[in-house]
Structure 1
Amino acid sequence: MLTLHSADLVVPGAGTEPIADGAVAVEGGTVAAVGPYDEVSAAYPRARTRRWAGVLTPGLVHRGAGPLLGRAYHPDPREADELGTEPLTGAALDALAMDDARWGGSARRGLQRLLRHGVTAVAGPFPRPAVRRAVARAGLATVADGDPDAPVPPLDPLDPPTGTDPQRAFAGALVPGARADLAAFVAPDLAALAATGAAACRATVLAGRLAYRGR
């Protein structure tokens, strides 16, 4: 299926010129074209169009995903009254009875939360087998330059208090032939996105599939 993802501003990749009222044509799991909406829609007149308000970028990479998924517990929503909703580490994690099944469930929930932050790639390694299986099944791209011994980081790969440049978190670029990993954010530009963080994510497209859509 051919889909046009359009937005007020499309940023094809790090160091590229943003495209006002731009569009990305996605065919299957691959980027077919990128450019102004008028040009792309004329080239693909039968494509279904998804319109996102704000900025559309490549998906993000979370370089702290190894510790975040392998050394933190992401509570089940049914445990919220007892454990809260934020990842548990340190003494709070030590107090839990963790086995492979629980680590696997935690990793799956953590990956879903990452998708809600526009993340389409995660950095390993992932020493726990249950976590590795969860990552493989989720379909996110993996990179191997993470530090498994680093402190457990925030869920947000942009970590707004640090003012991280979103371009440094792009997992790739939106160019023809690339895997179609995209993220749409409710922000007018990258400067605003850096200030609000990736929690402003409205949608995440993973290899052409809409993996997350916010309200």
Structure 2
Amino acid sequence: MLTIHVGAALRRTADGRAVPGDAVAVRDDRVAEVGPLEELRERYPQARVRSWPGTVGPALVHEGELPAAPTPRERVYAVLRSGATAVLADRVADPDLRDAARRSGLTVLAALGRPAELVPSARADLAVFDDAGTCVATVVAGRAVHRRA
């Protein structure tokens, strides 16, 4: 299934310029294409269109300690609610926490790499932020895992 994610604007990189009218097409767990919404709709007329209330961009890497919570699963979900889909390996050293991260689809990184970018064939890890900087949705490998009510 192909889904086009669109918001008020789209950032191709976390610190890139927000471009109104741009969107990202996602097939399965990968970015299929990025560009103007109307062009994507023409190219993929069968695609489902998900409209988000904010700016769509690449998901973040959570660099600090995972938030405190009663269970490893809740700690991982708190990371997802922040718009992050990757964590550093040393932050999930506990086996239960690492297992919860793996089950949720979080990417576990040995070290920080280059910043995420929305480009074709990249893993479809997206985050949507409102004007106040609050995460309103997180998509892990093409699957919506958090949506603010």
TM-score, normalization by structure 2:
0.90
Which has the larger share of strand?
2
Unaligned runs of 5+ in 1: 76-105, 147-169, 188-195
- The one-character-per-residue Cα deviations of 1:167-195 (angstroms, maximum 9, x if unpaired) are xxx951110000000011122xxxxxxxx
SS of structure 1 residue aligned to 2:39? helix
**CA RMSD, Structure 1 to Structure 2 (Å):** 1.9
Q: 1:181 and 2:125 equivalent?
A: yes
Distance (Å, rounded) in 1 between the aligned partners of 2:140 and 2:33: 17
Q: Return the match for 1:115 from 77, 80, 84.
A: 80
Alignment deviations for residues 2-29 of structure 1 (CA, whole Å, 9 cap, x no partner): 0000111100115644321111000000
Unaligned segments of structure 2, at least 5 residues:
none
Q: Percent identity?
A: 42
Q: Which moved more, 1:15-24 or 1:202-211?
A: 15-24
CA distance in 1, matches of 2:115, 2:96: 24
**Residues 14 and 57 in structure 2, CA contact (< 8 A), matched pair in contact too:** no
Q: Secondary structure at the match of 2:20?
A: strand
Would you say 1:211 and 2:145 are equivalent positions? yes
| Cα distance in 2 for residues equivalent to 1:202 and 1:139 | 18
Aligned residues: 147
TM-score by length of 1: 0.64
The amino acid across from 1:145 in the alignment is: A
Q: Between Structure 1 and Structure 2, which shows a larger proportion of helix residues?
A: 1
Asked if the contact 1:8–1:21 (Cα under 8 Å) also holds between the matched residues in 2, the reply is yes
Quick one: distance in 1 between partners of 2:14 and 2:142?
20
